[in-house]
Amino acid sequence: MASSFSLLTFSLFIILSLSSAIADDDLLIRQVTTEDSSSSSSSPNDLLLNADHHFSLFKSKFNKIYSSKEEHDNRFSIFKANLRRASRHQTLDPSAVHGVTKFSDLTPREFRQKYLGLNGGKRKLKLPSDANKAPVLPTDSLPEDFDWREHGAVTEVKDQGQCGSCWSFSTTGALEGANYLATGKLVSLSEQQLVDCDHECDPEERNSCDSGCNGGLMNNAFEYILKSGGVQREEDYPYTGSDHGTCKFDKSKVAATVANFSVVALDEDQIAANLVKNGPLAVGIHAGYMQTYIGGVSCPLVCLRSLDHGVVLVGYGSAGYAPIRFKEKPYWIIKNSWGPNWGDQGYYKICRGHNVCGVDSMVSTVAAVNIHATQ
């Protein structure tokens, strides 16, 4: 039922896009044509026609320097393939904007290897058997819109660089929020400590151990923090984006400690209730549409649910930006770790409602110890 509706609206979108000349007193069509004319200068199809020019802009905007002519030409052909991909994504994901991003000279494979890092993307992820299940919370008085950024629980957008350490940023993002709720202080926490020191394994899958730039899992990391006694501040244990260092954890400088953490059921109301009650959540997602994402609400008609990226869920909205009015949809607000010059100022909006790209399927909530009260 739901998928045939999507297909129907999808065909309608195509028809409306093609017939922009007719009946401009129809609100639906007017919205599509307005959208078309405002974004025509940067639509993926237009970019393809002027690929040379846009590659020059891309290189200067993102300070890209290639070591040889061969490398340059190779990157240009990847860039063109990514423009075609962005164009496909735009068609499959009409309520978002897709185009040139700082990752436009990377093949999807390079991108996955360098910028993601959630273990277990290929097989079905099993949650640790001893992971606590979050208690069922009441959902009748949830606010319609909610954003932890407006309540001081979210640090600035960070950048994992060329290291598959997303899992460590997802972990610190959730714990920073929980620590803020427990102590009233927003403290940026160290991902590098997790990258260097956390080699915790999934109790069920011995080959699924946290391994620095080669990936990890947020629940393993919460378990590590519980056992080790805490995490240092970002500034005391700064991020290097490499996992060649040894562990330099100094227990006397702990800035936040996990009290407990639990796994939230695959239920959007429970996810929202846990978010509002406990703070930002650590979530897994399939990042397939994120390499070309520029803005809007991502709501792909087709998206895998194999999880390959760890991010932080910080809020939700009731109705999103959409070129077609009846397709306005509620969305989750996702904090990413690719710097503020990616996406919507470092954030990704993805539609709520049917576990799009697996966003509802690996959700963890954490509580912090009030270390000030116990010291």
Ligand X SMILES: *[C@@H]1O[C@H](CO)[C@@H](O)[C@H](O)[C@H]1NC(C)=O
By the criterion CB under 6 A, which residues form the site for ligand X?
Answer: 132, 134-135, 260-262, 278, 365-367
Report the largest interatomic distance among the alpha carbons of the chain, rounded to a whole angstrom: 70
Cβ neighbours around 282 below 10 Å, total: 29
| Comparison of 92 and 142: residue with beta carbon closer to ligand X | 142
Helix axes 218-228 and 166-183, enclosed angle (nearest 10):
50
| Comparison of 168 and 270: residue with beta carbon closer to ligand X | 270
Q: How far is the CB of 365 from ligand X (least distance, A)?
A: 4
| Comparison of 148 and 289: residue with beta carbon closer to ligand X | 148
How many angstroms separate the CA atoms of 244 and 212, rounded? 9
Catalytic entry in 89, 163, 166, 303: 166
| Token representation of residue 340 | 């503020």
Q: How far is the CB of 366 from ligand X (least distance, A)?
A: 5
State the residue number with the nearest CB to ligand X.
262
Catalytic entry in 119, 179, 274, 336: 336
Q: How far is the CB of 290 from ligand X (least distance, A)?
A: 27
Q: 97, 349 in Cβ contact below 8 A? A: no
| Comparison of 77 and 132: residue with beta carbon closer to ligand X | 132
Q: How far is the CB of 279 from ligand X (least distance, A)?
A: 9
Phi and psi at residue 104, in whole multiples of 5°?
-75, -10
Q: How far is the CB of 181 from ligand X (least distance, A)?
A: 10
Q: Which residues contact 148 (CB under 8 A, 6 or more apart)?
A: 154, 177, 275, 279, 280, 314, 315
Q: What is the DSSP string of 317-339?
A: ESS---SSGGG---EEEEE-SB-
Strands 293-298 and 347-351, sheet pairing: parallel
How many angstroms separate the CA atoms of 242 and 247, rounded? 12
How many angstroms separate the CA atoms of 215 and 120, rounded? 9
How many angstroms separate the CA atoms of 20 and 36, rounded? 9
Catalytic entry in 220, 299, 309, 351: 309
* 309 belongs to the catalytic site: yes
* 336 belongs to the catalytic site: yes
| Comparison of 322 and 366: residue with beta carbon closer to ligand X | 366
| Comparison of 28 and 137: residue with beta carbon closer to ligand X | 137
* 201 belongs to the catalytic site: no
Q: What percent of the chain is helix, strand and coil (3-state, nearest 5)? A: 40, 20, 40
Strands 309-317 and 258-264, sheet pairing: unpaired
Q: How far is the CB of 272 from ligand X (least distance, A)?
A: 15
Catalytic residues: 166, 309, 336
